[in-house]
């Protein structure tokens, strides 16, 4: 059976809006770069988003040095870069989470990470809706329709399912961001599910970030205690759904 395009109302692509989003980030990042205090040549080499733990350490040392007198610029720089990475599904946000734990008080870092993750995911959701929805529908019309029908049976529990998916590593976050608008997951539970769901794993990396200088690899954030905490969080996220099913069964 030849795939058929979806209706024009849902298949209309707006790639120019995606370009506008990217340019907005570029202008904001360049503005923050201009506002950042003058640094040495060696330090300037480390003003880049971290791709590994050593990059995070070097960047953390530079930002920490200038944070006291330039707190707003440093904070805004971390926020904008974090949201940018999430928006365009670029790897590296885990190191910014660790870096946030190194630079800021714990609860400030946790609020920053949860807010940036949810905001960036919402932008990625929007980008997917603007340029990817029509293509995915065209290529896999029957499969997408079936998934939509399955999800529609749980429309009252989108928030709990989103929290569960964010807490557990079952599905990569970038795939959740891209697939959710195609599967008609509403933006509100998507946003708040992300905000709440990323908190437990972020808790671990932020806590580890407070000892960034001593870290040798990112796995030090994990232990049997942390696994138990994430498992408990995942179970709690599904508890309301299971309770509803039990009440209906009775």
Say if residues 50 and 56 touch (Cβ distance below 8 Å).
yes
Asked if residues 14 and 6 have their Cβ atoms less than 8 Å apart, the reply is no
The pLDDT score that the predictor gives to residue 84 is: 96
- Where do we find the tokens 């806590």? 207
* Cβ neighbour number for residue 26 with a 10 Å cutoff: 11
Residue pointed to by tokens 């989103």: 162
Paired tokens of 43: 């330090």
| Phi/psi-derived region of residue 151, left when phi > 0, alpha when psi is between -120 and 50, beta in every other case | alpha
| pTM of the predicted model as reported, rounded to 2 decimal places | 0.82
Query: Cα–Cα distance between 185 and 122 in angstroms, integer?
Result: 12
pLDDT on residue 214: 65
According to the model, what pLDDT value does residue 246 have?
60
pLDDT of residue 9: 40
CB neighbourhood size of 2 (10 A):
4
pLDDT in single tens digits along all 250 residues of the chain: 344 444 434 445 678 888 999 999 999 999 998 998 888 888 888 888 788 888 888 999 999 989 989 999 999 999 999 999 999 988 878 889 999 999 999 999 999 999 999 999 999 999 988 886 777 777 667 767 777 776 776 677 888 888 988 988 777 888 888 888 888 889 999 999 999 999 998 998 898 887 776 665 555 555 666 667 777 777 777 677 666 666 666 6
Predicted local distance difference test score (pLDDT) of residue 20 = 93
Residue among 128, 220, 226 nearest 179 (CA): 128
Task: Tell me how far apart the alpha carbons of residues 72 and 240 are, in angstroms, rounded to a whole number.
Answer: 40
Q: What is the CA radius of gyration of the chain?
A: 20
Q: Give the tokens for residue 209.
A: 């970030």
DSSP state of 89: T
What was the pLDDT predicted at 6? 41
Residue 222, CA distances (Å) to 53, 158, 160, 162, 173 in order: 15, 28, 24, 22, 19
Greatest C-alpha distance within the chain = 70
């Amino acid at each position: 059976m030849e795939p058929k395009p979806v209706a024009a109302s849902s298949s209309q692509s707006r790639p120019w809006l995606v370009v506008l989003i990217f340019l907005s980030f570029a202008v904001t990042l360049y503005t923050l770069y201009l506002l950042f205090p003058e640094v040495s040549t060696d330090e300037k080499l480390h003003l880049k988003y971290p791709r590994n733990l050593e990059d995070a350490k070097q960047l953390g040392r530079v930002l920490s040095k200038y944070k006291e007198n330039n707190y707003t610029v440093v904070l805004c720089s971390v926020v904008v870069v974090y949201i940018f990475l999430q928006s365009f599904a670029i790897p590296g946000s885990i190191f910014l989470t660790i870096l946030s734990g190194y630079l800021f008080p714990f609860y400030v870092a946790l609020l920053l990470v949860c807010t940036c993750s949810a905001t960036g995911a919402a932008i990625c959701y929007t980008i997917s809706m603007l340029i990817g929805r029509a293509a995915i529908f065209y290529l896999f019309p029957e499969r997408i329709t079936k998934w939509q029908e399955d999800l529609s049976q749980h429309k009252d529990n989108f928030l709990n399912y989103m929290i569960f998916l964010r807490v557990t590593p079952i599905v990569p976050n970038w795939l959740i961001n891209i697939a959710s608008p195609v599967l008609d997951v509403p933006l509100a539970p998507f946003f708040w599910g992300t905000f709440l769901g990323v908190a437990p794993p972020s808790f671990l990396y932020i806590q580890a970030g407070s000892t960034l200088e001593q870290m040798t690899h990112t796995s030090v954030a994990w232990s049997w205690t942390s696994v138990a905490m994430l498992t408990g969080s995942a179970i709690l996220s599904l508890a309301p759904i299971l309770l509803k099913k039990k009440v209906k069964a009775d």
